[in-house]
Amino acid sequence: MGRRFRRSSDCGRGYRPDGILLRHAAALRGMVIPVAFSTACAFLLCGAAIVIAAGAEQWPLRMFHGDSTRALLLRTFVPLIVAASLINGYINTTLLQHWRANPALVAALCAVAFAGLIGWIISGLSMAIGGRIDRAEEARNLAQAELRALNAELEIRVQERTRELRQKNQQIAEQLRMARELQLALLPQQFPTVPADVSDDESALRFLSLYFPTGDVSGDFFSVFSVGEKAAGVFICDVMGHGVRSALITSMIRALVEEEAQVTSDPGELLTRVNHALAEILKQAHTTMFATCFYLVADVNNAQLRFANAGHPCALHIRQRSAPAEKLESDGRVGPAMGIFPSARYQTAARSMATGDLIMLFTDGLFEVEGPDGDSFSQQQFHATVNRHVASPPEEFFTRVLEEIRKFSKRETFDDDVCVVGVEVRRTD
């Protein structure tokens, strides 16, 4: 019994199958398996191939490119970390087994070596980055200095330009004032008498005028001149637009009217000739402009009004200042504005006149006004205003009409140039 027990014990000490496995496991402990190493290398190479195939513009290589501080740090520390990891693994798996050195001492030496290496790299990076920062700061300071110099030079130039513009504006303002004075001087300062050899109190016709330009120069003008011994012509015009261009056109029309009035006394013929000459001038100047005109001849000898219209608001005829105002129009037809159709012909219409009559010629600026609410003062309202004051004396008549229009707009000035001419018939022969 005792011997059998020892055999059992011997078998327990060395003959058990699981004891053999334990000894093999202890022998294999701590060894590197070649299959795992080759697999890791394969994965590493595959990853590197994929990254390289993706290109430098794709993640993650794009983070390493460029001159930015981030790219510089990545290009420095990523290889360092990889190399440190590989060296550390090599020391722990290979060198320690051959040298049998103290692992703690080796770890400490490795830590010191890596700390020194990292310190040296950080020092170099600091110098490089610091140099970049210094150069950037220097460039920024230089740019600021250049900017300050440029601003100072720009301020000087702006001051010079401002001074030049102020001088030019003053010159233009002076020229416009002179043009305004000349334009006002060209308007009739003294009206003719009918007949020409009588005094103003004995004249058969009496003239009144109102002129309100909105700017320095105006596109409205009028002219009153003798037509023979017993008649007078009244020409009123409104040129498109405002300003210098319109004023120049008015001067041209005035010169043409004076020239053609010496050739013909017929209103329709005069407008036809003036229109043809004006259209040719504008065509040669490659300018598109037009003007509305109304020409009236008050013939005292024949007690007749002869008139022609070129797109202008019809003049009003107030008979003996008692009846409603009548439009001076020919069969309801109005000719086209002048300066557009060179071949246009204008017809002359006639109307009888009597002592006590009042004829009112005007431009559209008199009634094309707006109230505070944006309402327009229509021609119907204008005619109603005129009819309310037909019984007033001529001076009072024009004053009341203007006051009512200003009351509607609640302003003293007009939006457009205003020109008004009145002809009072004192007697007929």
pLDDT digits (tens, 9 = 90+) for 206-220: 999 999 888 778 889
Interval 91-113 mean pLDDT: 68
Interval 62-89 mean pLDDT: 70
Q: Which residue has the higher pLDDT, 102 or 356?
A: 356
**Largest Cα–Cα separation, the chain:** 181
How confident is the model at residue 374, as a pLDDT? Answer: 81
Q: Cα 331–333–338 angle (5° rounding)?
A: 145
Sign, Cα dihedral of 154, 159, 161, 162: positive
pLDDT digits (tens, 9 = 90+) for 39-56: 767 777 787 777 677 666
- pLDDT beyond 70 at 98: no
Which of 190, 268, 257 has its CA nearest to residue 221?
257
Residue matched to tokens 């009918």: 194
How confident is the model at residue 361, as a pLDDT? Answer: 96
Which region among 30-34, 190-194, 264-268 has the lowest average model confidence (pLDDT)? 30-34
3-state secondary structure the chain: CHHHHHHHHHHHHHHCHHHHHHHHHHHHCCCCCHHHHHHHHHHHHHHHHHHHHHCCCCCCHHHHCCCCHHHHHHHHHHHHHHHHHHHHHHHHHHHHHHHCCCHHHHHHHHHHHHHHHHHHHHHHHHHHHHHHHHHHHHHHHHHHHHHHHHHHHHHHHHHHHHHHHHHHHHHHHHHHHHHHHHHHHHCCCCCCCCCCCCCCCCCCEEEEEEEECCCCCCCEEEEEEECCCCEEEEEEEEECCCHHHHHHHHHHHHHHHHHHHCCCCCHHHHHHHHHHHHHHHHHHCCCCCCEEEEEEEEECCCCEEEEEEEECCCCEEECCCCCCCEECCECCECECCECCCCCCCCCCEEEECCCCCEEEEECHHHCCCECCCCCECCHHHHHHHHHHCCCCCHHHHHHHHHHHHHHHHCCCCCCCCEEEEEEEECCCC
Interval 148-165 mean pLDDT: 91
Share of the chain above pLDDT 70, in %: 80
Give the pairing type, strands 418-425 and 358-362. antiparallel
- pLDDT beyond 80 at 224: yes
pLDDT digits (tens, 9 = 90+) for 374-424: 888 888 899 999 999 998 999 999 999 999 999 998 888 887 888 999 999
How confident is the model at residue 46, as a pLDDT? Answer: 82
Calculate the average pLDDT of the chain.
82
- pLDDT beyond 90 at 222: yes
How confident is the model at residue 112, as a pLDDT? Answer: 78
- pLDDT beyond 50 at 7: no
Phi (first) and psi of residue 295, to 5 degrees: -125, 125
Per-residue confidence band for 11, with pLDDT thresholds at 50, 70 and 90 = very low
Per-residue confidence band for 96, with pLDDT thresholds at 50, 70 and 90 = low
Share of the chain above pLDDT 90, in %: 38
What CATH number does the domain located at 191-425 have? 3.60.40.10
Interval 178-201 mean pLDDT: 86
How confident is the model at residue 269, as a pLDDT? Answer: 96
How confident is the model at residue 171, as a pLDDT? Answer: 86
pLDDT digits (tens, 9 = 90+) for 124-148: 767 777 777 777 888 888 999 999 9
Which residues fall within 8 angstroms of residue 267, CB to CB, at 6 or more apart? 233, 295, 296, 297, 306, 307, 308, 346, 348
Q: Which residue has the higher pLDDT, 297 or 133?
A: 297
Interval 336-362 mean pLDDT: 94
Per-residue confidence band for 24, with pLDDT thresholds at 50, 70 and 90 = low
Q: Where are the domains of the chain?
A: 54-186, 191-425
Per-residue confidence band for 9, with pLDDT thresholds at 50, 70 and 90 = very low
- pLDDT beyond 90 at 352: yes
